[in-house]
Amino acid sequence: MCGIVGYLGSRKALPIIIKGLKRLEYRGYDSAGVAVLNGSLEIVKKKGKVSDLESAIGEKKLDASVGIGHTRWATHGEPNDRNAHPHLSSDGKLAIIHNGIIENYSAIKKELEKSGHSFKSDTDTEVLIHLIEEIKIQNKCNIEEAVRLALNEVVGAYAIVVLSEDDERTLIAARKGSPLVIGIGKDEYFVASDATPIIEYTSEVTYLNDREMAIMKDGSLTVKSLENVIKTPFIQKLELDLEDIEKGGYPHFMLKEIFEQPKSVRDAMRGRLVSASHSLVLSGIDQYLHRFTNAERMLFIGCGTSWHAGLIGEYLFEDLARIPTEVEYASEFRYRNPVIRDKDIVIAISQSGETADTLAAIELAKSKGAMIFGVCNVVGSSIARTADAGAYLHAGPEIGVASTKAFTSQVTILAMMAIYLGLKKGTISKSKYQELLFGLDTIPDKVATILGKAEEILEISKRFYQASNFLYLGRGYNFPVALEGALKLKEISYIHAEGYPAAEMKHGPIALIDEDMPVVFIATKDSSYEKIISNIQEVKARKGKVIAIVTEGDTEIKKMADFTFEIPSIADPLVPLLAVIPLQLLSYHIAILRGCNVDQPRNLAKSVTVE
């Protein structure tokens, strides 16, 4: 999950690296560090955020046109100055930054200690740079060959960039399981975990594949496999604008991204939902239509918010397309010997397209003959390249760690897929198909209507921001929304929150309810409306405080609830796209009132690229 940046060219490296680290800080903010090379290696690293690193650099003259930088999410070793990256070899002539985990580092470390190596940190990364140094000495080879040989000895995931004093105008990068992109400018090169530090300088990039390394020298880029086979890099244009990664006048990225949802949902539908003819064009499905319509089972795989989107997908696909569907946590999928058949379709959901557990689950499913359909946001990401087919969200960069617009875009894609397959399989009528498409077409405007009433959520937040616990309840399509609402609150405000099916409340959680317990009901007018009213009465009988998300014009629940927030009426399968918006705002405002950093919540990182 760490963020890495490298630069080689004619500009001053340090400003480029620092700016890049700030853009990658959503990937980790436990510590940060830089190394620049101008005759000798100069390193500064510091516990804390990139701003703390800037203070540590102060007035130091780190003039160089080649350098590397790192912002850390701690795995091996607590966050402190000595565990911060970059790490050095024994002789201080090699420096490395690393995103990932070297699983066999302990065994390698013991062998290196026998050879006289001593270590200054608790990290697996320092072991790797010492291994590269040892191989370079023992094999009397150059740094490029030493890196290649060392990476053939390690087990685990990595994206690395290496600097060597003996090869001053060279950057060496490599990846396996962790993302890495090379930016190609005019006689200059950029390396980063994703494209956000690069877009300001060039729009031409190449994404390294697993077990590939890039050797960047003045005026030349060579890509080769770890088997020493030269590769031809595929150069592509970035579909990213600089303004997309700026706050645009908002105080936080999360708030900006919440308010971008009318546009991001519309962009997810653009080119797919044809309003004029009330029809869908889904090329990713069409090329495998026979497999989709004859699938024996759908398997949704994801983590966190993406898992919640998949759970809504389960409701959609079973309700509309009548396809048996299961939703799996990617992190558990491989470890229970799952039954996967060649007529199964695995739909992998990930905002970044780099989630390590999801990628590992995909590899297992592919080996069993299942078809893989990717739903992700980042063009050129690992899931996009691994899947047989897929659909991009087109949501634009999501910088806030707590996912908002990516979630609604994911649900939009899944809704279109389920509606389309329902028509193709004959499990929904043509009139139902067009009714749902008309409803989808209205979602962006209805989201904008909800956002126009954001002040109402702020007033509710002021009443409950000091609560210690929250309960979120919903039925049917709204149960996954309850889970997502609870996750958002706990992620950024650090309040303990649980999402439950409303009917399950009486099987345990009702014991927690008292006058200090806020209970959020997603209580729209659907087929479960009368049941949800009964659940609200059960909470009120125990003096719980009820916050209800209700359908516009509802009067019955307003009489019972302490607070209500109205959302426009929409067909049941599309309610999650509206009901989640006030819950995102609720978590945001509560976190701000509690003084939390909503864009960089403690212990979390945006892209989980380690298992």
Neighbours of 261 (CB within 10 A): 27
Question: Is 351 within 8 Å of 304 (Cβ atoms)?
Answer: no
Angstrom CA distances, 179 to 1, 326, 405, stand at: 9, 28, 22
Q: Note if 606 is an active site residue.
A: yes
Catalytic residue among 46, 424, 488, 606: 606
Q: From 108, 103, 114, 157, select the one nearest 129 (Cα to Cα).
A: 108
Strand, coil or helix: what is 469? strand
Distance CA 287, CA 302 (A): 24
Catalytic residue among 2, 303, 376, 596: 2
Q: From 553, 513, 516, select the one nearest 536 (Cα to Cα).
A: 513
Q: From 160, 156, 180, select the one nearest 172 (Cα to Cα).
A: 160
Q: Which two tokens stand for residue 92?
A: 């201080």
In SS3 terms, 554-591 reads as: CCHHHHHCCEEEEECCCCHHHHHHHHHHHHHHHHHHHH
Which residues, at least 6 apart from 588, have a Cβ–Cβ distance to it below 8 Å? 252, 254, 255, 258, 492, 598
- Entry field: residues in the chain: 611
Distance CA 297, CA 319 (A): 14
Rg (CA), the chain: 25
Angstrom CA distances, 423 to 430, 437, 527, stand at: 7, 11, 23
Q: Note if 2 is an active site residue.
A: yes
Beta-bridged to residue 279, according to DSSP, are 274
Q: What is the set of active-site residues?
A: 2, 606
